[in-house]
Amino acid sequence: MRFDVVTIFPEYLEPLSVSLVGKARARGQLDIRVHDLRRWTHDRHHTVDDTPYGGGPGMVMKPEPWGEALDAIIAPGSAATADGEAAPEQPTLIVPTPSGRPFTQALAVELSTRPWLVFTPARYEGIDRRVIDEYRERPEVHEVHELSIGDYVLAGGEAAVLVMAEAIARLLPGVLGNAASHQDDSFAPGEMAHLLEGPVYTKPPQWRGRGIPEVLLSGHHGRIARWRRDEAFRRTTRNRPELIEQADPEEFDQHDRKILAELGWDVSEATGRFGRPTPDVEE
């Protein structure tokens, strides 16, 4: 898989050379290329921004350097890998922005199947809109995703790129030591789609007078799996109740429904979905 990142702060992307992502790069599973946007400027100050039309605070990133940079990266023949192998035909363009749609685990799974992602982290007030519109219509580009990692604003999109790159890269075959590790992740498609992962424990069995749940020492895999799922319901009710509200009650078995009832959930006759429990329900 190939990642390209265009930025005015290449050093910000150095974490892509460490940990699991760095090891995947070293093994050749990931081809990551970081490009300095200022290479495609033509004035002595390497200007990448200007004042916004219509007035207002802040600056806007100019379309010319972005257009030249993206043209160069996606141009036919420019995308060969380091060992000379042909590159994927069409990249998917990822635009980090607080005004984008949420980046989710399900989307990370989808993007992990794409062979080539190009990230465009912006600074200031963002990139001139014409750039996104241009590449959304370009046949060389598979599709464009404007994505947000949360309801807050950062100084730039590089941190968002690090988040998305790691979330996607860890799903690639062979990146995690245990290929099944991500199957029980919070938000993972399947049984965990509407649940947060529950608490985890390791040795020693006693620490500062605190033990671990006895079921985890039982060796009974069925009971352990059930306990973990019950704990996931409790944590989700406490921290992200909207995930259960969004779920189809038909997705849950009889035991699931019993736990949800104990936590105060009930299916609404009006909506056919779970109604949020009252705050005084004990967990």
Q: Is the pLDDT of residue 165 over 80?
A: yes
pLDDT tens column, 60-108: 999 999 999 999 999 976 655 555 566 567 999 999 999 999 999 999 9
Catalytic residue among 50, 185, 191, 197: 185
| Annotated catalytic residue 185 | yes
Q: Is the pLDDT of residue 155 over 70?
A: yes
What CATH topology corresponds to 186-275?
Trp Operon Repressor; Chain A (1.10.1270)
The pLDDT of residue 152: 95
Supply φ then ψ for residue 258, to 5 degrees: -65, -45
User: What is the spatial distance between Cα 196 and Cα 128, in angstroms, rounded to a whole number?
Assistant: 37
Contact 273, 249 (CB under 8 A): yes
Domains of the chain, residue spans: 2-169, 186-275
Average pLDDT of the segment spanning 179-203: 72
The radius of gyration of the chain from alpha carbons, rounded to an integer in Å, stands at: 23
How high is the mean pLDDT of the chain? 91
| Annotated catalytic residue 33 | no
User: What is the spatial distance between Cα 17 and Cα 8, in angstroms, rounded to a whole number?
Assistant: 18
Catalytic residue among 64, 125, 245, 262: 125
Pick 83 or 3 by higher pLDDT.
3
The pLDDT of residue 174: 86
* DSSP E strand boundaries for the chain: 2-7, 31-36, 49-50, 60-61, 92-102, 116-119, 143-148, 266-267, 274-275
User: What is the spatial distance between Cα 206 and Cα 141, in angstroms, rounded to a whole number?
Assistant: 55
* Highest mean pLDDT, choosing among 85-94, 188-197, 250-259: 250-259
pLDDT tens column, 13-62: 999 999 999 999 999 999 999 999 999 999 999 999 999 999 999 999 99
pLDDT tens column, 242-252: 999 999 999 99
The pLDDT of residue 270: 82
Stated pTM of the model: 0.85
Measured on CA atoms in the order 238, 242, 243, 246, is the torsion positive or negative? positive
CATH architecture type of domain 2-169: 3-Layer(aba) Sandwich (3.40)
The pLDDT of residue 283: 46
Catalytic residue among 123, 170, 228, 229: 170
Q: Is the pLDDT of residue 163 over 50?
A: yes
Residue 3 β-bridge partners:
32, 117
Catalytic residue among 10, 15, 98, 249: 98
The pLDDT of residue 181: 53
| Annotated catalytic residue 101 | no
The pLDDT of residue 192: 67
Cis peptide before 173 (omega within 30 of 0): no
The pLDDT of residue 277: 75
| Annotated catalytic residue 266 | no
